[in-house]
């Protein structure tokens, strides 16, 4: 029996970020694919409150919520550190990781599924968020200190990969490299990292999955 198990889905950015963190740490794990339309008894047992993926199971003990899991991974397997060790830098990294999760992901997801006036408002909100990221990245290769990818970058995986596919399917041009060159360079560096590249869902497979969701939504109206 594997010491570490991860309950997730192949297409979830939240599952994928946990896989990336485990790979960066060199931790071996067993991945358990969940069917979100028919959640397993084990998932419901280990996450009875939210009933969501991802769930990390370590020595039989469940840890839930991706942000909490990322911190647990860094504290449990010390080297290499993926959160900054300096208290101020660590606090700053937490701030920007939460900025991705609490600001960028909800707005960038919703803008791709909305229409009309609501979409126009969300486009403006997303533009302002991208302007903030553009400013933070000025002169920096990644979010955070140093020249290596860190946990803020990993929590930005939705912006760096999923959003580009979604906005293309939705016929939007909220993000372009011309408008946000620093963000564009960061995305390129993100994709060029071998561990990142190996742990992103195949673009054609993810595009087909999301396209099917767009079609299902359109058919239901």
Q: Do 126 and 192 fall within a single domain? A: yes
30-33 and 55-58 strand pairing: unpaired
Residue with tokens 């011309």: 178
Q: Do 100 and 60 fall within a single domain? A: no
Q: Which strand (E) or helix (H) includes residue 32?
A: strand 30-33
Of the candidates 41, 76, 111, which is a domain's last residue?
A: 76
**Position 10 in a domain:** yes
CA angle 44, 201, 6 (to 5 degrees): 30
Q: Do 202 and 144 fall within a single domain? A: yes
C-alpha dihedral (99, 100, 102, 107), degrees to nearest 10: 120
In total, how many domains does the chain have? 2
CB 72 within 8 A of CB 82: no
**Position 40 in a domain:** yes
* pLDDT, tens digit only, all 221 positions of the chain: 459 999 999 999 999 999 999 999 999 999 999 999 999 999 999 999 999 999 999 999 999 999 999 999 999 998 788 888 889 999 999 999 999 999 999 999 999 999 999 999 999 999 999 999 999 998 889 997 667 888 999 999 999 999 999 999 999 999 999 999 999 999 999 999 999 999 999 999 999 999 999 999 888 87
CB 206 within 8 A of CB 162: yes
Q: Do 62 and 101 fall within a single domain? A: no
Of the candidates 52, 76, 100, which is a domain's last residue?
A: 76
CATH number, position 65 = 3.40.30.10
Of the candidates 76, 109, 136, which is a domain's last residue?
A: 76
Q: Do 56 and 94 fall within a single domain? A: no
Percent residues over pLDDT 90 in the chain: 85
Compute the radius of gyration of the chain from its Cα atoms: 18
pLDDT at 61: 96
The C-alpha atoms of residue 214 and residue 207 are separated, in whole angstroms, by 10
CA angle 30, 33, 39 (to 5 degrees): 125
CATH number, position 187 = 1.20.1050.10
The C-alpha atoms of residue 63 and residue 7 are separated, in whole angstroms, by 11
Q: Do 56 and 14 fall within a single domain? A: yes
Q: What is the pLDDT of residues 145-183, one digit of tens each?
A: 667 888 999 999 999 999 999 999 999 999 999 999 999
Q: Do 66 and 140 fall within a single domain? A: no
Q: Do 115 and 202 fall within a single domain? A: yes
**Position 81 in a domain:** no
For 125, the token pair is: 């909100």
**Position 111 in a domain:** yes
Q: Do 124 and 201 fall within a single domain? A: yes
Q: Do 146 and 197 fall within a single domain? A: yes
Q: Do 26 and 108 fall within a single domain? A: no
The C-alpha atoms of residue 5 and residue 188 are separated, in whole angstroms, by 30
Q: Do 97 and 194 fall within a single domain? A: yes
Neighbour tally for 144: CB within 10 Å: 22
pTM: 0.92
Range of the domain at 61: 4-76
The C-alpha atoms of residue 219 and residue 193 are separated, in whole angstroms, by 39
């Amino acid at each position: 029996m594997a010491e570490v198990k991860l309950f997730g889905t192949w297409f979830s950015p939240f599952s994928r970020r946990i896989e990336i963190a485990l790979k960066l740490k060199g931790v071996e794990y067993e991945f358990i694919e969940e069917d979100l339309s028919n959640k397993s008894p084990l998932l419901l047992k280990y996450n009875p409150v939210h009933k969501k993926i991802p769930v990390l199971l370590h020595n039989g003990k469940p840890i839930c919520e991706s942000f909490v899991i990322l911190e647990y991974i860094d504290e449990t397997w010390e080297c290499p550190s993926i959160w900054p060790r300096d208290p101020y830098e660590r606090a700053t990294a937490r701030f920007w990781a939460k900025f991705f999760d609490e600001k960028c992901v909800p707005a960038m997801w919703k803008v791709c599924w909305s229409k009309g006036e609501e979409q126009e408002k969300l486009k403006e909100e997303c533009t302002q968020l991208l302007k903030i990221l553009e400013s933070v990245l000025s002169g920096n290769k990644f979010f955070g200190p140093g020249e290596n990818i860190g946990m803020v970058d990993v929590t930005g995986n939705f912006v760096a990969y999923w959003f580009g596919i979604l906005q293309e399917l939705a016929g939007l041009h909220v993000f372009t490299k011309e408008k946000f060159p620093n963000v564009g360079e960061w995305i390129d560096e993100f994709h060029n990292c071998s561990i990142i590249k190996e742990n992103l869902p195949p673009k054609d497979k993810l595009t087909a999955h999301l396209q099917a969701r767009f079609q299902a939504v359109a058919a239901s109206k």
